[in-house]
Structure 1
Amino acid sequence: MSRYPVKSETCHEAVDLADTLLPGNAGVTRAVVLVTDTAQLDLWRALLTGEARTSAVPVVLRRHDRRSLRGWAQRAEVFTTDERLERLHALTGGWPLLVDRAHRLHVELGDPDEVLRRLADMLADRSAVRAFLEATGVYADPALAAGYRSVAAEFGGDQVDTEAVVTAIACEIGDEGEARWVFACLDALQVFDREEAQLRLEPLLQQCMALGV
């Protein structure tokens, strides 16, 4: 579904069929994977908030943390020193889009330090930053962007709990129920770093959003 523009009811029907269209033969097992993006936010709302009566379990594409980024670097045999890994994490935030870009640049250039310089240059390019922000999905709906900005304005880079984040969003958009949906969506988009029960805005995205591009 992420590759084609589809109607909301088509998305919901796909989930319903995944639940109900079962094999007719005994001993047959099946699994259904529906890949969506922010073009299907109505479906996200139903799945992330529990509004949909379905056995479907949402699975989000997660950013790399330092540990998984190290594992990726070891498998790809790139950026393997501690210093380069730390710089790679700071310049990509673990976002798969930027990590993939770093990998492609490394294949092209063969020089990890030059790749890191190129990444830093991209983050100083307003058009590149705008393309990154669009890709994260934060601009997919005005309520998401407004909710994000309200959290950034209220807490900056501080650690806070979920209820504080929801309250900040609710004060901005004026509806607690809608604020909880916005939070669930932003959380699925990986805009927060988590440490136990505490949340903090991911620094690279926060830096790019602050540019106001």
Structure 2
Amino acid sequence: MGKPSVYKQELTGGRSRERRVVISDFVNYRVPVRPETCREALDLAETLLPVTPGVTRAVVLVTDPAQLALWRSLLTGTEPTSAAPVVLRRPDHRSLRGWAQRINMFHTEDRLDRLYELMGGWPLLVGRAYHLHEELGNPDEVLRRLADLHADRAEARAFAEATGVYADPLLVSGYRALNDEFKDDLFDLEGAVTAIALKIDDEDEAGWTVNCLDALQVFDREDTQLRLEPVLRECVALNG
């Protein structure tokens, strides 16, 4: 739903025994969306209910780091709301293999291993790999082009910014605190909060920062332990 009037109409619409999903995508609006607009959409979803009995209705709001004010309340649970954040996860090595099989590209195990090493499962880079393969038709040349990202400062900065790590100064400070403390070593959530709290001298803000960085997918998980995802870590380090 785009226009607020249409959105409100769809929130209350529906026929008896109908199951409906109303989607409002704030990421792909033609103009930047103000935080209060997204917050209002959430409030309306909770207050404007279907007028016809028997209608089952869900609402999906698609947001990005431009809506960090809304993320804060949802990720930290500081406000009473029925809304629940759903974080889109980066593909892992196994799902990347399934993707490569579906599109009939990067067939060999060594290429798949190298592909994951260079992309880390980041959707932006997965899309780049696909389009490069369509353009070049040579998987080894695609891998070479992807490797250039790790050496080109401007490309690395653009990628890091696209992940959302630079969306707020607190996120950048928190990320760098984790990198300074742990580098490529494993750590847990408590250790992450402590490392950032020591940097910014605020434990509550450190907890929020870790939650937000986790939502941005900057961590790889190994059981209950975390590690900074290598591709992003290398790109951030390239820009100091």
TM range (shorter): over 0.9
SS in structure 2 of the partner of residue 132 of structure 1: helix
Partner amino acid, structure 2, of 1:193: D
- Report the counterpart of residue 47 of structure 1 in structure 2: 74
After superposition, residues 39-118 of structure 1 pair within 5 angstroms as 39-118=66-145
- Report the counterpart of residue 196 of structure 1 in structure 2: 223
Q: So what's the TM-score if we normalise by structure 1?
A: 0.96
Task: Please give the alpha-carbon distance, in whole angstroms, between the structure 1 residues aligned to 2:129 and 2:79.
Answer: 38
Task: Please give the alpha-carbon distance, in whole angstroms, between the structure 1 residues aligned to 2:82 and 2:106.
Answer: 41
- Report the counterpart of residue 167 of structure 2 in structure 1: 140
Task: Please give the alpha-carbon distance, in whole angstroms, between the structure 2 residues aligned to 1:92 and 1:207.
Answer: 12
Task: Please give the alpha-carbon distance, in whole angstroms, between the structure 2 residues aligned to 1:10 and 1:185.
Answer: 21
Task: Please give the alpha-carbon distance, in whole angstroms, between the structure 2 residues aligned to 1:131 and 1:75.
Answer: 29
How far does residue 54 in structure 1 lie from its aligned partner after superposition?
A: 1.5
Which deviates more, 46-55 or 198-207? 46-55
- Report the counterpart of residue 176 of structure 2 in structure 1: 149
- Report the counterpart of residue 10 of structure 1 in structure 2: 37
Task: Please give the alpha-carbon distance, in whole angstroms, between the structure 2 residues aligned to 1:157 and 1:99.
Answer: 23
Runs of 4+ in 1 over 6 A off after TM superposition: none
SS in structure 1 of the partner of residue 89 of structure 2: coil
After superposition, residues 163-174 of structure 1 pair within 5 angstroms as 163-174=190-201
How far does residue 142 in structure 1 lie from its aligned partner after superposition?
A: 0.5
SS in structure 1 of the partner of residue 107 of structure 2: coil
| Number of aligned residue pairs | 213
Structure 1 residue ranges without an equivalent (≥5) = none
SS in structure 2 of the partner of residue 190 of structure 1: coil
Task: Please give the alpha-carbon distance, in whole angstroms, between the structure 1 residues aligned to 2:86 and 2:98.
Answer: 21
- Report the counterpart of residue 158 of structure 1 in structure 2: 185
How far does residue 20 in structure 1 lie from its aligned partner after superposition?
A: 1.9
Partner amino acid, structure 2, of 1:190: Q
How far does residue 60 in structure 1 lie from its aligned partner after superposition?
A: 1.4
How far does residue 6 in structure 1 lie from its aligned partner after superposition?
A: 2.7
1:113-170 superposed Cα distances (whole Å, 9 cap, x missing partner):
1110111123211111111011010000000000000000001111111100000011
Partner amino acid, structure 2, of 1:134: E
How far does residue 212 in structure 1 lie from its aligned partner after superposition?
A: 2.0
Partner amino acid, structure 2, of 1:79: F
Task: Please give the alpha-carbon distance, in whole angstroms, between the structure 1 residues aligned to 2:106 and 2:58.
Answer: 37
Partner amino acid, structure 1, of 2:148: D
- Report the counterpart of residue 149 of structure 2 in structure 1: 122
Task: Please give the alpha-carbon distance, in whole angstroms, between the structure 1 residues aligned to 2:190 and 2:71.
Answer: 21
Structure 2 residue ranges without an equivalent (≥5) = 1-25
Contact 2:153/2:239 (CA < 8 Å) preserved in 1? no
**Identity among equivalent pairs (%):** 66
Task: Please give the alpha-carbon distance, in whole angstroms, between the structure 2 residues aligned to 1:21 and 1:112.
Answer: 51
Partner amino acid, structure 1, of 2:184: G
Structure showing greater radius of gyration is: 2
Normalized per residue, which structure has more strand?
2
